[in-house]
Structure 1
């Protein structure tokens, strides 16, 4: 059983480390590679083709940015869960619980409206760090939300 964690001071943001490094590292590599390829590509390719190569690289980098920007933010009013495609904002009374099972890629946050949202900003692959972040979030939910009452 994990040791109880006291609620951390707010505001607080949880972000994955490795996931961000990989996403932004590959994004930079792909954009740089697309630019180099556009510069050195041989003759049948014209300026519009070169522009499209760089645009494609930028498009891939944008998708990687969506994966790199994930986070969970907690403040006095509630939490904001920024996932790859959607951002969810909830007040503390709406948040019921957070769970992270051993095999889960990220914790699941349960809300009073019956919705469950995955919190991609806390990566299960960062074992101890993810357990600590989930415990801190659970302590905040208990202290600030109505579920603990």
Structure 2
């Protein structure tokens, strides 16, 4: 494939619709829980108010965690940021990029025989957009993964 058809590096793929919903809702949850905690009648104790605020922060943290996934490709490889873990891969470590009908997100087959979910590329934000992103990542893997690592001398 000619380099002109490859995505320009660095490139980031992320489910933008998820973020557009989850981050404002998370902020709104904190505001609502803090407002309710402060508006409670005087008969409510301080520990009840703290528990309400903490609950709002926990819900907001869960929303922020769900908005976190993305995939960043650069000249050296890709960084896959999923809900909790981040993993850095060199191009040569990726054997195949998969996005089959009905898959919730892209799956990367790795040279060590394992697979890695790349949740940052998912049809939930639009099937056509996810397919374009998966094809772009696949093309980068094919173009960059075929290049052997430079040999080092001792």
Could you tell me which residue of structure 1 aligns to residue 101 of structure 2?
A: 102
Q: Alpha-carbon deviation of 1:22?
A: 2.1
Structure 1 residue 88 corresponds to structure 2 residue 115: no
SS at structure 2 position matched to 1:72: strand
Deviation at 1:114, TM superposition (A): 1.1
Structure whose alpha-carbon radius of gyration is higher:
2
Q: Give the structure 2 partner of residue 63 of structure 1.
A: 62
- Partner in structure 1 of residue 133 of structure 2: 133
Instruction: State how far apart, in whole Å, the 1-side matches of 2:63 and 2:104 are.
Output: 18
CA apart distance, 1:21: 1.6
Tell me the matched-pair count. Answer: 143
Question: Matches of 1:30 and 1:49 in 2, distance apart?
Answer: 17
Cα-to-partner distance string for 1:124-143 (whole Å, 9 max, x where unaligned): 12111101100100010000
Which residue of structure 2 lines up, in the alignment, with residue 24 of structure 1? 23
| 1:146 paired to 2:146 | yes
1:96–1:146 contact (8 Å) kept in structure 2: no
- Residue ranges of structure 1 left out of the alignment (5+ in a row): none
State the TM-score, normalized to the length of structure 1: 0.90
Contact 1:106/1:124 (8 A) holds in 2: yes
Tell me the TM-score normalised to structure 2 length.
Answer: 0.87
Unpaired runs of 5+ residues, structure 2, are 148-154
Within 5 A, what are the aligned runs for 1:38-77? Answer: 38-77=37-76
Deviation for aligned residue 1:25: 2.3
Give per-residue Cα distances to partners, 1:52-83, cap 9 Å, x unaligned: 21121111111111111110000111011000
What is the RMSD computed on CA atoms of the aligned residues? 1.5
User: For residue 13 of structure 1, what is the aligned residue in structure 2?
Assistant: 12
